Amino acid sequence: MQYRRAALAVLPIAAVALAMPLVAPAPAFAAESVSVDLQEMGNTGAKGSATLTPMANGDLKISIHSTGMTPNSPHAQHLHGSAGGMDFHCPSMAQDVNHNGYISVEEGLPMYGDIFVSLTTSGDTTKASGLAVDRFPTADAKGNLAYERTIPAAQLPAGTIEHIKDLHIVQHGIDANNNGKYDIGALGESTFAKSLGVPNIPEEATDVATCGMVAGAAAGSVPAGGVNTGDGSSLAQPGPDPALIYSVGGGAVLGSLGLALYRRRKAAQA
């Protein structure tokens, strides 16, 4: 009798459970798209715009359109910044310490911070691909550059979507002497590349062409602390060592840059 009563007591509960619709976990909602105004750094003449669109599944879609870039040349480009509370932002000409009218990697890095995501056209997007010129977009003959890619959530550093307004875009590669290519005769040899043990890379190839912050983001104050390779956290010393920042894969990708430029020169001479 007690067993029968227990069974009857369960029936209404089961009926209610069956009547309730199946409720699936709510999908993650995408944050709104943000716009980036890419402004020329120094006397580059380059400019552009970008849109960062977080997707509902955690992916990040990036769209970039730039003009005034070095024609027929690859341009390294990255998301910079931090998801850990560091205050990084685009540099100004106050960082042009050698007064040549351009921002080098060494001059700009303390302001814009470590590579957060390498905006390659395919494959790896970590900072190990920071100068993988074979996988960065190439400007056309008129210096126009177009880039579209959706980076899977699994390839994004933790906190990318949540801190998207704390990130910014930096594009590299300038044409200081307006001869339509990267060459050592313009600004000399890249001191950044040389610091990594890769000689004969034009400074033009590594200098900053454009930088842009998310529209509406605060301009920020001067970063307090350096950059720790990998996470953007602060160090005890006041500034980063550029060679350390790009040491992971840096020599290899700069070697690729040298090989690519050599091939371009050979093709032009043929």
Q: Whole-angstrom Cα distance, residue 222 to residue 108?
A: 12
Q: Phi, psi (5° rounding) for residue 148? A: -140, 130
Least confident of 136-150, 191-205, 217-231: 217-231
Least confident of 67-76, 164-173, 209-218: 209-218
DSSP string for residues in 120-152: -SSS--SGGGTT-GGGS-B--TTS-EEEEEEE-
Residue-averaged pLDDT of the chain: 77
What is the per-residue pLDDT for 237?
30
In this prediction the pTM is 0.75
Q: Whole-angstrom Cα distance, residue 168 to residue 36?
A: 8
Name the pLDDT band for 48 (thresholds 50, 70, 90). Answer: very high
> Would the pLDDT of 220 be above 60?
no
Strand partners, 66: 48, 145
Q: If you average pLDDT over residues 240-268, what whole number do you get?
A: 50
What is the per-residue pLDDT for 76?
95
What is the per-residue pLDDT for 144?
98
| Residue entry with tokens 């007064």 | 99
Q: If you average pLDDT over residues 232-246, what whole number do you get?
A: 36
More confident call, 72 vs 192: 72
> Would the pLDDT of 260 be above 80?
no
Q: If you average pLDDT over residues 221-238, what whole number do you get?
A: 33
Name the pLDDT band for 196 (thresholds 50, 70, 90). Answer: confident
Residue 182 and residue 102 in contact, taking contact as beta carbons nearer than 8 Å: no
Q: Whole-angstrom Cα distance, residue 121 to residue 129?
A: 11
User: Tell me, what DSSP letter sits at residue 14?
Assistant: H
> Would the pLDDT of 95 be above 60?
yes
Q: If you average pLDDT over residues 98-108, what whole number do you get?
A: 94
Counting runs of H as helices and runs of E as strands, what totals does the chain give? 7, 8
Question: Smallest Cα–Cα separation from 138: which of 181, 183, 190?
Answer: 181
What is the per-residue pLDDT for 199?
86
More confident call, 64 vs 257: 64
What is the per-residue pLDDT for 194?
87
What is the token pair recorded at 200? Answer: 């004969």
> Would the pLDDT of 18 be above 50?
no
Question: Smallest Cα–Cα separation from 175: which of 64, 44, 21?
Answer: 44
User: Tell me, what DSSP letter sits at residue 202?
Assistant: B
> Would the pLDDT of 20 be above 90?
no
Sign of CA dihedral 265, 247, 107, 44: positive
Name the helix (H) or strand (E) containing 167: strand 167-172
What is the per-residue pLDDT for 183?
94
Residue 114 and residue 23 in contact, taking contact as beta carbons nearer than 8 Å: no
What is the per-residue pLDDT for 31?
61
More confident call, 246 vs 103: 103
Q: Whole-angstrom Cα distance, residue 54 to residue 33?
A: 7
Residue 134 and residue 39 in contact, taking contact as beta carbons nearer than 8 Å: no
Least confident of 62-66, 108-112, 221-225, 227-231: 227-231
User: Tell me, what DSSP letter sits at residue 33?
Assistant: P
More confident call, 204 vs 31: 204
- Percentage of the chain lying above the pLDDT 90 cut: 53
Half-sphere exposure (Cβ direction) of 129: Cα atoms closer than 13 Å: 20
